[in-house]
């Protein structure tokens, strides 16, 4: 069976979990903490980052969330997530990369440092200026999602795709950490409620990170 090395609030691990679940691929979770990886984790991935997916029977180790998603796209026919014409697939990959890189750098990454790492590891108060900046940039990204959902059925076009899961994975972590304010973003909010209510999303919403309780609305699919 596949083993997925992950930690609960890693948005890239969440993206992989959503894709695997949509495709009906079973896996076992192996918890890693980014600041305290298990023995042998660096042997598995010299880059030191989750998610890592392994299949010991085949001596297979897959690293990098996008490489993992592309692998299952190529090997599992069910629920294609990078689909359509070549231009359509390029649009899915553009948006996926935008959420993985820019949303993460602007919003999720800073929130994880200020509200998780500083609380659990560094034992420092969060920097309120950094938090304000992350929340301001979150509004800009939500504006863009408003625009996308206003002009398209799903983020990358007429079909649900990996772009939706990559975006929802980032947003779910930012929301857990109290960084998402939906006011003024009705389009983005409706889209996210639909994503949240998918069966693939449910296991993520019930998990808690020890020492960091999520806001009350976080797991409520109607909120």
Summarize as ranges the residues that interact with a copy of itself (CB under 8 A): 46-47, 60, 62-64, 66-68, 70-71, 74-75, 86-87, 89-90, 93-94, 97-98, 101-102, 144
Share of the chain residues as helix, strand and coil, in percent rounded to the nearest 5:
55, 10, 35
Which CB, 2 or 176, lies closer to a copy of itself? 2
Which CB, 162 or 204, lies closer to a copy of itself? 162
What residues are paired with 62 via a beta bridge?
A: 53
DSSP H or E segment with residue 55: strand 52-55
Least separation in angstroms between residue 139's CB and a copy of itself is 14
Other Cβ atoms less than 10 A from the Cβ of 51: the count is 24
Least separation in angstroms between residue 98's CB and a copy of itself is 6
Least separation in angstroms between residue 155's CB and a copy of itself is 14
For residues 218 and 206, what is the distance between their CA atoms, to the nearest angstrom? 9
| Strand 52-55 with 60-63, pairing | antiparallel
Least separation in angstroms between residue 51's CB and a copy of itself is 12
What residues are paired with 6 via a beta bridge?
A: 31
Least separation in angstroms between residue 196's CB and a copy of itself is 25
Which CB, 66 or 79, lies closer to a copy of itself? 66
What residues are paired with 154 via a beta bridge?
A: 157
Which CB, 149 or 201, lies closer to a copy of itself? 149
Which CB, 72 or 201, lies closer to a copy of itself? 72
Q: Is 74 exposed, middle or buried (0-12, 13-18, 19+ CB in 10 A)?
A: exposed
């Amino acid at each position: 069976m596949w083993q997925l090395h992950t930690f609960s609030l890693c948005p890239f691990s969440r993206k992989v979990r959503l894709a695997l679940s949509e495709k009906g691929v079973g896996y076992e979770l192996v918890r890693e903490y980014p600041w305290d990886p298990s023995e042998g984790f660096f042997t598995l991935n010299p880059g030191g980052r989750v998610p890592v997916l392994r299949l010991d029977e085949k001596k297979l180790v897959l690293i990098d969330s996008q490489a993992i998603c592309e692998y299952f796209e190529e090997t599992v026919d069910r629920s294609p997530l990078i689909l359509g014409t070549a231009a359509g697939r390029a649009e899915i990959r553009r948006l996926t990369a935008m959420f993985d890189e820019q949303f993460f750098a602007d919003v999720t990454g800073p929130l994880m440092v200020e509200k998780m790492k500083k609380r659990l590891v560094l034992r420092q108060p969060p920097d309120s200026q950094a938090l304000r900046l992350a929340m301001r940039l979150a509004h800009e990204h939500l504006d863009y999602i408003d625009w996308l959902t206003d002009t398209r059925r799903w983020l990358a076009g007429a079909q649900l795709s990996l772009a939706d899961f990559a975006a929802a994975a980032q947003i779910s972590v930012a929301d857990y950490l109290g960084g998402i304010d939906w006011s003024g973003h009705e389009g983005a909010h409706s889209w996210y409620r639909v994503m949240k209510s998918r069966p693939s999303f449910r296991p993520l919403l019930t998990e808690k990170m020890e020492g960091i309780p999520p806001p009350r609305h976080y797991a409520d699919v109607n909120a």
